[in-house]
Amino acid sequence: MEIFGSTFDDSVFLEARERVCESLSSYNAKVCDPQWFCENSCLHNEDSLEKQKVFKFRGDLAVRQGNYQKALEAYSSCLQLTSDNNLTIRRDVLEGMARCCTKLGQRNEALDLASSLSKEVSNTCHLTSLLLLKVSIYHHFGLVRPKMSCLQQLCTLLPFNPWYWFSLGQMCLQLLDSNTATEPVGGETEENQEELSEEQIWLQACVSLIRTRLLLRSLQQQQSSFVLQRSQKVLQVTEEALQRLNPAEPTLQTLSEVMSEDLIPEKMREDYQDGESLASVCLPNFRERWWDKVLLTGVLRDPSATGGVLVLQT
């Protein structure tokens, strides 16, 4: 009777076959001089792909140098050479052109380019990039309400990102300070954008900042170094803003409970993974996901109170 593993296969003791070493053909790496794409001779190449690279690199360099008109011209030339099925380069170039137009004060052109990008959105990463681009355009031209609408969409798409909630809270504070209703221009309208009363803006500021505080406190357990320092700094600013808004303690408690209902560690890791197809994501608007839930608590503003104190409706 043989014990399992006590015998060896004879092949273990056979001599290894001699390996035949085939000589490899020599390879010479291509060496490029710094800013080689700036030479006019690069455009003499008949290969359209090489010309596309040249214009793309020229545009990127011009942006770094702050020459946005030159960058816009280079990107435009690159786009003309880019095939329709090369979506990665097209998106990169269109976004670069939109940012250049923004810097040059060409509002309508920047919004048109952003609109072109929206037609090619196919996953959550694309949508996030598009919304951030719109936020930068609206911020540059002082369009507060459409910028706030984009931030609301970001908070719904990525609900566990404290920076979007913080930015939304800051936008609400800006609206309260200005007491104006800046409308989108140039034909650009954002979905779910609506007129909000001063009381609603006040309440949305409280909700956004409370959500920011909850998320930052939760994430600090996993942070260190400069990341932790940044979170602590933003958390301090958030606390000061909430003190300025001065919600009553019962209201603060109620809103904190509502905005923390989904803060479950397992859900925070799995909710809306980057790059997920939009076809598989059921994305409600901000009102459906957050605002209606807040209003159901019966929180109303007491017009007779000072300092923006809220009371609970009974």
Q: Mind listing the pLDDT tens digit for each residue in 33-87?
A: 787 677 777 776 777 888 888 899 999 999 999 999 999 999 999 999 998 889 9
What is the per-residue pLDDT for 13?
58
Mark 90-121 as b/e (b = at least 16 C-beta within 10 Å).
bbbbbbbbbbbbbbeebbebbbbbbeebeeeb
CATH number at residue 72: 1.25.40.10
* Judgement on whether residues 185 and 296 belong to the same structural domain of the protein: yes
* Judgement on whether residues 138 and 65 belong to the same structural domain of the protein: no
Q: Mind listing the pLDDT tens digit for each residue in 108-128?
A: 999 999 999 998 888 889 999
Q: Which two tokens stand for residue 240?
A: 């000061």
* Judgement on whether residues 159 and 208 belong to the same structural domain of the protein: yes
What is the per-residue pLDDT for 257?
94
> Whose CA is closest to 145, among 183, 108, 200, 114?
183
Q: Give the structural domain span for 202.
A: 123-314
Q: Mind listing the pLDDT tens digit for each residue in 210-269?
A: 999 999 999 888 888 898 999 999 999 999 999 999 999 999 999 999 999 988 877 776
21 inside domain: no
pLDDT band for position 205 (cuts 50, 70, 90) = very high
197 secondary structure, DSSP code: -
* Helix or strand holding residue 301 (H, E): strand 299-301
* Judgement on whether residues 42 and 191 belong to the same structural domain of the protein: no
pTM: 0.78
95 inside domain: yes
17 inside domain: no
Question: Taking the mean position of all CA atoms in its chain, how far away is CA 56?
Answer: 23
* Judgement on whether residues 216 and 179 belong to the same structural domain of the protein: yes
3-state SS, residue 300: strand
Q: Mind listing the pLDDT tens digit for each residue in 280-309?
A: 566 678 888 888 888 888 775 443 333 444
pLDDT band for position 207 (cuts 50, 70, 90) = very high
25 inside domain: no
Cα–Cα distance measured from residue 236 to residue 124, given in angstroms and rounded to the nearest whole number: 31
Cβ distance 278 to 124 under 8 Å?
yes
169 inside domain: yes
Give the residue from 120, 147, 180 where a domain finishes. Answer: 120
* Judgement on whether residues 58 and 167 belong to the same structural domain of the protein: no
18 inside domain: no
* Judgement on whether residues 244 and 296 belong to the same structural domain of the protein: yes
More confident position, 314 or 166: 166
Cα–Cα distance measured from residue 153 to residue 159, given in angstroms and rounded to the nearest whole number: 9
Give the residue from 102, 120, 138 where a domain finishes. Answer: 120
How many structural domains are present in the chain?
Answer: 2
Burial class of residue 176 in the structure, from the number of CB atoms within 10 Å of its CB (0-12 exposed, 13-18 middle, 19+ buried): middle
pLDDT at 132 exceeding the cut of 70 = yes
3-state SS, residue 312: strand
7 inside domain: no
Q: Which two tokens stand for residue 266?
A: 């397992």
Cα–Cα distance measured from residue 254 to residue 82, given in angstroms and rounded to the nearest whole number: 54
pLDDT band for position 93 (cuts 50, 70, 90) = very high
